[in-house]
Each structure stands twice: as structure tokens, then as C-alpha cells.
């Protein structure tokens, strides 16, 4: 059973999936915020997705994806990440430019197109931001990385995932010379505001705020 969903419906499902990872039940306002829409619009769409059995919805009590809703969401995420990989790897787009383009490409074409693209790219396992790419059956291999904000002191680390693709966020990273693969070491954590003093590329020191460090994920080297 492989129905077709509108761009809008697909975006709602994808966004709900991401929000669910942080918080089991998703609220109307949280979704409105993420989608840059008004709460009333969210309620409208919830009724439609609910009628299509893509999510469980009880008025005033939030909502969560059904099995089918999850399946569709993961499919969109697969498309998104494969296109990001293609744009970065083959077309040589900067890793901070690919997100916006992939937002459009993810809604195009058939399953066959995506499976052929996957094969052409050599079945990559991570996108340019370090996020895992679901396979053709919808399986996601989670990464064992932790946010920089919780990393131990004086331990050599490598950035392996960036979990915020907003223009504003990527702008900070570019200015500070941070990207996937950059080597780091946390020298001090300030208890007052959670900010970190970090040594970048075994060279200069800089300070990263807590909200920033939460979206930078690292692995020990």
C-alpha cells in the first residue's frame, strides 16, 4: 500500500518525526514553530493526517505518528539525506548549502528513483551533516555520538554530526571554522551559563555557548 502524499503532508510528517525523537508527544505550538505556520493551520492538517491514519490525534492532547506515518516520514528523510549526499559529493556543493536544495528534491519522484540514486552513490551510510541515511527498507543505523555540551574535558574529539541546519547556525560554524571532521578538545565548562572553552584544531582557543554546543555532536578520536 503505497499512496501518494502532498508536499505539505510530507513536510508535516517529517517534522513530526524529528520532534518525536526529542519528545514522545508533539504539541501544536511546537510544530507550528518548526514549520513556520500558525497553530490553527496545524490543527487543520492534524485532522487530515488523522483521517488518513497517519497519526494518532486526540484534540488538546498532542499527537504522535502511526506506524504508517513513521514509514512515510523515514522515507522522506531517506530521500532528503541521499540528495544531500549527492549534492555535496557529486555536484560539489558546500556542506552548508545542501539542506535547502534537498528540501525540494525530497518530494520528487518514485521509490525506484531513490533506490537507483542510492545504488549510484554506493549506498552511503551518512549524509554530509553526519546523520544516518535510512536504507531501502526504512532501517536507520543510529550513531553513537554525544553532544559537545556533555563531552568530557581534555579529551581529543572529532565533530561527526551537526543537528541544526538553519542558516543562522551554519553561519556561526563557518565563522568559527567548525565542520564535520574538525578536531576539538574541551578545556573548561563554565557552570554559570554552560558555555565551553574549546581548543580548535589543536591550535587556538574559543568559547562556544551552550545552545550552540548542543547541536554539535562529537566522537572520541
Per CB under 7 A, residues contacting DNA are: 6-9, 11, 27-30, 36-48, 57, 59-62
Closer residue to a copy of itself (CB): 69 or 128: 128
CB atoms within 10 A of CB 133: 21
Q: Which residue has the cell 508535516?
A: 12
CB-based burial of residue 76 (10 Å sphere; 0-12 exposed, 13-18 middle, 19+ buried)? buried
Q: Is residue 105 a contact residue for a copy of itself (CB under 8 A)?
A: yes
Residue 83 CB contacts under 8 Å (≥ 6 apart), including other chains:
98, 101, 102, 105, 106, 117
> What is the contact mask toward a copy of itself in residues 120 to 159, using x (rule: CB under 8 A)?
x---------------------------------------
Q: How far apart are CA 72 and CA 75, in angstroms?
A: 5
Closer residue to DNA (CB): 69 or 132: 69
Closer residue to DNA (CB): 17 or 95: 17
Q: How far apart are CA 156 and CA 100, in angstroms?
A: 32
Closer residue to DNA (CB): 26 or 196: 26
CB of 97 to a copy of itself, least distance (A): 9
Total residues in contact with a copy of itself, by rule CB under 8 A: 15
Q: Is residue 82 a contact residue for a copy of itself (CB under 8 A)?
A: no
CA 137 to chain centroid: 19
CB-based burial of residue 48 (10 Å sphere; 0-12 exposed, 13-18 middle, 19+ buried)? middle
Q: Which does 204 bind (CB under 5 to 8 A by kind): DNA, a copy of itself, none?
A: none
Residues found near a copy of itself in the complex (CB under 8 A): 87, 90-93, 101, 104-105, 108-110, 113, 116-117, 120
Amino acid at each position: 500500500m503505497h499512496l501518494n502524499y502532498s508536499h505539505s503532508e510530507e513536510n508535516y510528517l517529517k517534522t513530526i518525526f524529528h520532534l518525536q525523537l526529542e519528545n514522545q508527544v508533539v504539541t501544536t505550538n511546537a510544530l507550528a514553530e518548526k514549520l513556520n505556520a500558525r497553530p490553527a493551520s496545524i490543527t487543520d492538517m492534524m485532522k487530515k493526517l488523522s483521517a488518513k491514519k497517519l497519526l494518532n490525534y486526540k484534540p488538546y492532547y498532542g499527537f504522535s505518528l502511526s506506524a504508517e506515518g513513521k514509514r512515510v516520514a523515514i522515507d522522506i528523510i531517506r530521500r532528503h539525506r541521499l540528495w544531500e549526499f549527492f549534492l555535496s559529493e557529486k555536484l560539489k556543493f558546500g556542506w552548508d548549502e545542501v539542506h535547502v536544495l534537498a528540501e525540494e528534491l525530497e518530494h520528487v519522484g518514485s521509490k525506484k528513483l531513490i533506490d537507483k540514486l542510492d545504488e549510484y552513490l554506493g549506498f552511503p551510510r551518512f549524509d554530509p551533516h553526519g546523520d544516518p541515511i535510512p536504507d531501502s527498507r526504512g532501517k536507520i543505523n543510529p550513531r553513537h555520538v554525544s553532544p559537545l555540551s556533555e563531552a568530557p574535558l581534555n579529551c581529543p574529539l572529532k565533530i561527526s554530526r551537526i543537528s541544526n541546519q538553519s542558516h543562522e547556525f551554519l553561519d556561526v560554524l563557518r565563522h568559527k571554522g567548525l565542520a564535520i571532521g574538525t578536531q576539538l578538545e574541551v578545556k573548561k565548562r563554565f557552570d554559570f551559563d554552560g558555555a565551553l572553552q574549546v581548543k580548535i584544531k589543536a591550535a587556538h582557543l574559543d568559547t562556544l555557548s551552550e545552545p550552540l554546543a548542543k547541536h554539535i555532536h562529537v566522537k572520541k578520536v
